[in-house]
């Protein structure tokens, strides 16, 4: 198992290129199951989660080839299996995204039931309820979701009590090949949903309302397949922006989309960062001052992403003043707090709210990452701490950040992977 060793206290300066979005790439690659012809996807980040999904699709008989480091061609013309096995689903919950496409195109799916995970329960009831409304018969047997439908799925009126990114994606994909119209009320509005929808439209689907909370999908007979370029990763961009706000310095993010980052940029500006942007780049500068403590509350898009909460927690530990960070999406997403406290942070958590009292500086320590964003929070803490920090649990980091160590080193951080 690799670990990161960071000698903190260096400012970040220079330019970094943002990779393609993990959370857009995963549903788009899963959507290849819907297409009759060749699918070609570019700007796919090189990440463990993408590898896991490729292994899963290949195990089902999808012909997968990498045309270069960040481009993948997929052909699901000759599927040999409709099963997503336990050993792959347990590595990555997003494997559930093959359920809707398999059912819509082949009339059957057998997907290992995703268990709980470090950040919360993460039920899939909304995925299943929506597919049942579309005519699927679904049973949970021996740890597997066994789903089938007679003939085609049929369009349905679906209402979600709360906003789910994954359920919206699964049902939107399924609805593309259903008979008639599907309406998803209280749909998620995340940029990754819009990207998936635009990709499906390019391949022949009829989807309206992207970016709003009401999606209307008119089923079509087939999707042809075709090309799609994945949007930039807004959470990776937010991670680098938070890092430079914590360490000081000036960095340019190339291949970033500022239009996806209004909430994050607003909060970072409130802490004192200077941010300017063009259509596909962001310049952020934090010079000669410490960040100010700022309260945050996570919310579905366009609110502040839950995936940024751990990063704001790390920043708040060394900000001037006291702030409250409220997590509203996942019930157990403060696992990083105990580790930050081992670095000297003054944080107390009650229910879903963390109270952080900013201190002069953290000190380096050995810390263990519990999940993907927690690992990035600990890396940011290590970048500002005095002395040496060793971050264990890099397998979490590698699920969602492409070469974060090399990118930070290129900006002047003293960071090595061992």
Can you tell me which of 137, 162, 212, 348 binds ligand UD1, judged by CB under 6 A? Answer: 162
| Backbone angle region of 309, left / alpha / beta, with phi > 0 → left and psi within -120 to 50 → alpha | alpha
Q: Is 313 in the site for ligand UD1 (CB under 6 A)?
A: no
Q: Whole-angstrom Cα distance, residue 99 to residue 82?
A: 9
CB of 133 to ligand UD1, least distance (A): 13
Q: Is 166 in the site for ligand UD1 (CB under 6 A)?
A: yes
Q: Is 43 in the site for ligand UD1 (CB under 6 A)?
A: no
Q: Is 116 in the site for ligand UD1 (CB under 6 A)?
A: no
Q: Is 199 annotated as catalytic?
A: no
Q: Which residues, numbered 175-204, are part of the site for ligand UD1 (CB under 6 A)? A: 192
Q: Is 127 in the site for ligand UD1 (CB under 6 A)?
A: yes
Q: Is 121 in the site for ligand UD1 (CB under 6 A)?
A: yes
Q: In this chain, which stretch among 68-76, 117-125, 136-144, 236-244 interacts with ligand UD1, using CB under 6 A?
A: 117-125
Q: Which residues, numbered 16-35, are part of the site for ligand UD1 (CB under 6 A)? A: 23, 26
The residue among 77 and 159 lying less far from ligand UD1, judged by its C-beta, is 159
Q: In this chain, which stretch among 7-15, 159-167, 193-201, 243-251 interacts with ligand UD1, using CB under 6 A?
A: 159-167
Q: What is the DSSP letter of 386?
A: B
CA distances from 14 to 8, 70, 177, 240, 407 (A): 17, 23, 46, 11, 10
Q: In this chain, which stretch among 118-126, 284-292, 363-371, 407-415 interacts with ligand UD1, using CB under 6 A?
A: 118-126
CB of 79 to ligand UD1, least distance (A): 23
Closest by CA to 33, choosing from 62, 3, 66, is: 62
The residue among 104 and 188 lying less far from ligand UD1, judged by its C-beta, is 188
Can you tell me which of 25, 124, 343, 356 binds ligand UD1, judged by CB under 6 A? Answer: 124
> Contact, 364 vs 10, CB < 8 A?
no
Q: In this chain, which stretch among 36-44, 67-75, 254-262, 305-313 interacts with ligand UD1, using CB under 6 A?
A: 305-313
Q: Whole-angstrom Cα distance, residue 376 to residue 331?
A: 19
Give the residues across from 388 on adjacent strands. Answer: 7
The residue among 8 and 305 lying less far from ligand UD1, judged by its C-beta, is 305
CA angle 207, 213, 216 (to 5 degrees): 25
> Contact, 206 vs 167, CB < 8 A?
no
Q: Which residues, numbered 90-109, are part of the site for ligand UD1 (CB under 6 A)? A: 94
Q: Whole-angstrom Cα distance, residue 82 to residue 102?
A: 7
> Contact, 256 vs 281, CB < 8 A?
yes
- Collapsed DSSP state (helix, strand, coil) of residue 135: coil
Q: In this chain, which stretch among 120-128, 172-180, 248-256, 409-417 interacts with ligand UD1, using CB under 6 A?
A: 120-128
Give the residues across from 157 on adjacent strands. Answer: 183
Helices 48-59, 22-31: crossing angle, 10 deg rounding: 10
H or E segment and range at residue 314:
helix 309-317
Count interface residues toward ligand UD1 (CB under 6 A): 22
Q: Is 125 in the site for ligand UD1 (CB under 6 A)?
A: yes
Could you check whether the bond before residue 67 is cis, i.e. omega within 30 degrees of 0? no
Can you tell me which of 167, 284, 374, 378 binds ligand UD1, judged by CB under 6 A? Answer: 167
> In 10-107, which ranges are E strands?
12-17, 38-42, 63-68, 71-75, 83-84
Q: Is 126 in the site for ligand UD1 (CB under 6 A)?
A: yes
Interface with ligand UD1 (CB under 6 A): 23, 26, 94, 120-127, 162, 164-167, 192, 305-307, 329-330
Catalytic positions, written as ranges:
117
């Amino acid at each position: 198992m690799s670990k990161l060793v960071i000698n903190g206290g260096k400012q970040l300066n220079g330019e970094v290129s943002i990779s393609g979005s993990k959370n857009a790439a995963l549903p788009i690659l899963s959507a290849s199951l819907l297409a009759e012809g060749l699918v070609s996807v570019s700007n796919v980040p090189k990440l463990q989660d993408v590898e896991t999904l490729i292994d899963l699709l290949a195990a089902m008989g999808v012909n997968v080839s990498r045309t270069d480091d960040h481009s993948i061609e997929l052909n699901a013309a000759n599927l040999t299996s409709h099963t997503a096995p336990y050993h792959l689903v347990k590595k990555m919950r997003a494997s559930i995204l093959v359920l809707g496409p398999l059912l819509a195109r082949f009339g059957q799916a057998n997907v290992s039931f995703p268990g709980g995970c470090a950040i919360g329960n993460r039920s899939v009831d909304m995925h299943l309820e929506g597919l049942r409304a579309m005519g699927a018969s679904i049973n949970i047997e021996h740890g597997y979701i066994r789903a089938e439908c007679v003939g085609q799925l049929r369009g349905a009126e679906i209402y979600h009590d709360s906003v789910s990114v994954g359920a919206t994606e699964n049902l939107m994909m399924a609805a593309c090949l259903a008979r008639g119209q599907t309406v998803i009320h209280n749909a998620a509005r995340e940029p990754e949903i819009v990207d998936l929808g635009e990709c499906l439209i390019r391949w022949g689907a009829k989807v309206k309302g992207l970016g709003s909370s009401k999606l209307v999908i008119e089923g079509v007979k087939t999707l042809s397949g075709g090309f799609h370029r994945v949007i930039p990763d807004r959470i990776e961009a937010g991670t680098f922006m938070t890092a430079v706000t914590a360490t000081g310095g000036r960095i340019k993010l190339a291949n970033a989309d500022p239009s996806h980052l209004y909430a994050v940029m607003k909060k970072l500006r409130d802490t004192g960062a200077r941010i300017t942007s063009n259509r596909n780049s962001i310049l952020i500068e934090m010079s000669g001052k410490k960040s100010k403590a700022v309260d945050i509350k996570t919310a579905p898009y366009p609110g502040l992403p839950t995936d940024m909460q751990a990063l704001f927690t790390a920043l708040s530990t060394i900000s001037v003043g006291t702030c409250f960070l409220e997590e509203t999406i996942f019930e157990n997403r403060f696992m990083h707090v105990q580790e930050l406290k081992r670095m000297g942070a003054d944080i107390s958590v009650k229910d879903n709210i963390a109270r952080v009292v900013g201190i002069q500086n953290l000190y380096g320590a050995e810390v263990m990452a519990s999940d993907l964003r927690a690992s990035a929070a600990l890396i940011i803490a290590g970048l500002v701490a005095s002395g040496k920090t060793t971050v264990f649990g890099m397998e979490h980091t590698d699920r969602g950040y492409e070469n974060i160590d090399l990118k930070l080193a290129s900006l002047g951080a003293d960071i090595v992977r061992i």
